[in-house]
Amino acid sequence: MAYRSKAGSFRALKGVNLEVQQGDIQLLMGPSGSGKTTLLSILAGILTPTEGSVFLFEEEITKFSKEKLAQFRLQNIGFIFQGFNLFPALSAAENVELILGIKGIRGKAARQQTQMLLEQVGLADKANQKPGDLSGGQKQRAAIARALAGNPRLIMADEPTAALDSHSGHNVISLLRKLAKEEGCTVLMVTHDPRLVDVADRVAYLEDGVLRR
């Protein structure tokens, strides 16, 4: 991956080759600026690599049209990214219900699942508040509840526990672990959290855009 700007071209990733096993908790670690978010964005189809390909569930997503990619992401991937991407006009519960609706889960079933997800991240009492009225850690937890809605096959997370107190961090970790081990969900995440290293199946290290395992 090369970023091009007025200042010239910057090679953020060099010859990266990574295979992730289904149902694994796969971590991506490395110093600041090493290319972790870049790699995660490419694997999620948010960023198009300058060279190379990405296969998700046997499909080459780097060949997909924009529309097909957006649809594929909605159906298969739950995102927990830096900056949360919550819809500001919707409450925490509505943010979760929106994703369930896209996946065909509506009405009572959607309300029940939303309630359960918000309880799991410890946010049931803030269900009707909008992101602007939540703290950083609470926004993070709302984003996590939304990412888990409708059991995605793949969860991609960038520092999911960074803004959390130790209790919510612990809950999120057990939730991710349960999804991977009981639902066969693949979890791919960037983290510096040693508690996540403890539950990880594999860890890949990036250094200056080069992957070491």
Ligand X SMILES: Nc1ncnc2c1ncn2[C@@H]1O[C@H](COP(=O)(O)OP(=O)(O)OP(=O)(O)O)[C@@H](O)[C@H]1O
Q: Which residues bind ligand X (CB under 6 A)?
A: 3, 5, 10, 12, 30, 32-38
Instruction: Name the segment binding Mg ion (CB under 5 A); options: 31-39, 61-69, 96-104, 180-188.
Output: 31-39
Selection from 71, 49, 58 nearest residue 4 by Cα? 49
Nearer to ligand X, 5 or 17 (CB): 5
For the CB of residue 149, give the shortest distance to ligand X in the complex, in Å.
Answer: 25
| Residue that is written with structure tokens 């060279």 in the block | 51
Name which of Mg ion, ligand X, none residue 126 binds, using a CB cut-off of 5 to 8 Å depending on partner kind: none
For the CB of residue 169, give the shortest distance to ligand X in the complex, in Å.
Answer: 18
Sequence-ordered list of residues with C-beta below 8 angstroms from that of 17, at least 6 positions apart, any chain? 211
Instruction: Name the segment binding Mg ion (CB under 5 A); options: 6-14, 36-44, 61-69, 148-156.
Output: 36-44
37 binds Mg ion (CB under 5 A): yes
* Coil vs helix vs strand at 65: coil
For the CB of residue 14, give the shortest distance to Mg ion in the complex, in Å.
Answer: 17
For the CB of residue 19, give the shortest distance to ligand X in the complex, in Å.
Answer: 20
Sequence-ordered list of residues with C-beta below 8 angstroms from that of 36, at least 6 positions apart, any chain? 28, 29, 30, 158, 190, 206
| Residue that is written with structure tokens 């670690």 in the block | 29
Q: At what angle do helices 107-120 and 92-102 cross, to 10 degrees?
A: 130
Residues that bind Mg ion (CB under 5 A): 37
